[in-house]
Amino acid sequence: MAPKKITVFIYLPGEPIAVPAGIFSHDADAGIGSFSYGRRYIERSNALPVDPIALPIGTPAKEVAINGGIYGAFRDGSPDYWGRLIIAIAAGTAPEALTEIDYLLASNATRVGNLDFRLSPDDPESDLKPPHFNQLKDILSAAHKIEMGEPAENHFVQLLRQGTSMGGARPKCTVEWNDALWIAKFPARGDTLNVPRLEYATMKLASQCGIHIPELRIVTIEDRDIFLCRRFDREKSAAGSEGWLRRGFISGLSLMQWDERDRLRWDYSAISDTMRRYTSIDDIHEFYRRMVFNILVRNTDDHPRNHGFLSGNHGIALSPAYDIVPSPAHPGVGTDFRLAMAMGKNGREANLANALSRVERFGLLQKEAQGIMNQLRETVAAWRYVFEECGVTGREIELLAPSLDREMIME
């Protein structure tokens, strides 16, 4: 099969209309991709790289063979499991019947970041608009039917498709509300805990620990809680104009140009080393703070896609935190656990001693790192009060107690 070629568009700072940046060629059989910037794009005074790590402007283009031949920033703008399921249902086919290029081309005004993908440089802007907050009841119902394997009305499937954006397997949708875009996360089939409310409470606790978070809301529709997280890569255009201003986004996986199957390479300190080339020391210190927080709240879904970076005119910066939820531990079974990424000399072993073993890689002295830990320990110790304030039930608090009341992590 001959390689497929598509045009990569980019939304430049302050501009709600995308411009063509270059051509992406993808050989699915070989699992290799290549990209070439257009001459007219390079000549623009405000041109930005479509992938600031893999494809800087002014350097020879290089092929990519990891992650199926898809550049990191491109893959970050493509849907993950839930979004792919919705796109496939809307197309009347199975997710595995669609190619990576099909998913990139799936017209979507709410994909993460500042890129878009079209068949030719002359293709117009997407006419799809995100659903409105007022349609959440119908969207929630459609998402539930899809999870249960039941047919959902095509109109509501299209609403879900228009709102597919961020990665992950849980049902979600981007909605417009109060002149902003929000990711609405729904309850999932098989949940034994109120995950939307738990994520809301944990993110509030993270904020009290000095971690930057987006604006958050929790709403209840027909006795089901929905967690709303304001999109940090979107801003409404000026009054009187249409569209959204977009910021570039790359995940930690893309920053490192890691293959998502090569989990042995995933490492907090390695990411910190790379951050030294692109971000501020304050960002690196906060990255360390987030690592420690993940230990204290037992967030084991801390893989590199769940750490993000914003890019634009001023370079690359750590994005607000997202996707932080405790994983329940069972009393009497053993509460030792591992994070998704290595953090110290003992690999992924999740305890504070391990987190102190390589603090110099984060630009910290031992006493500075210990000070961060002490502050986080003191704040997280009051987690019950924060969770109660956020509406978490007493039953769920008791179920989470073995995860968040663990003195052994201090050793």
Fold entry, domain 250-410: 1.10.1070
- Residue 109 pLDDT class (50, 70, 90 cuts): confident
- What is the average pLDDT across 394-410? 81
- Residue 319 CA, chain-centre distance (Å), reads 10
- What is the average pLDDT across 148-165? 73
Report whether pLDDT(334) > 70: no
Strands of 19-27's sheet in order across:
32-37, 19-27, 4-10, 115-118
- What is the average pLDDT across 361-379? 97
Q: In the chain, what are the domain boundaries?
A: 4-117, 133-159+166-230, 250-410
Fold entry, domain 133-159+166-230: Phosphorylase Kinase; domain 1 (3.30.200)
Q: Hey, which bits of 276-338 come out as E strands?
A: 308-312, 315-318
- What is the average pLDDT across 177-192? 90
Report whether pLDDT(152) > 80: no
For 265-310, write each residue's pLDDT tens digit. Answer: 999 999 999 999 999 999 999 999 999 999 999 999 999 999 999 9
pTM: 0.94
Is 126 strand, coil or helix?
A: coil
Spatial distance between the Cα atoms of 372 and 367, rounded to a whole number of angstroms: 9
Q: Please say whether the beta carbons of 228 and 220 come within 8 A.
A: no
Report whether pLDDT(60) > 60: yes
Q: Please say whether the beta carbons of 224 and 194 come within 8 A.
A: no
pLDDT of residue 248: 97
φ/ψ region of 257 (left if φ > 0, alpha if ψ in -120 to 50, else beta) reads left
- Residue 406 CA, chain-centre distance (Å), reads 28
Query: How big, in percent rounded to 5, are the helix, strand and coil portions of the chain?
Result: 35, 20, 45
What are the phi and psi torsion angles at 218 (to 5°)? Answer: -130, 130
- Residue 408 pLDDT class (50, 70, 90 cuts): very low
For 354-368, write each residue's pLDDT tens digit. Answer: 999 999 999 999 999
Report whether pLDDT(175) > 60: yes
Nearest of 360, 341, 347 to residue 291 by alpha carbon: 341
Residue written as tokens 């019947």? Answer: 97
- Residue 166 pLDDT class (50, 70, 90 cuts): low
What are the phi and psi torsion angles at 288 (to 5°)? Answer: -65, -45
Report whether pLDDT(410) > 90: no
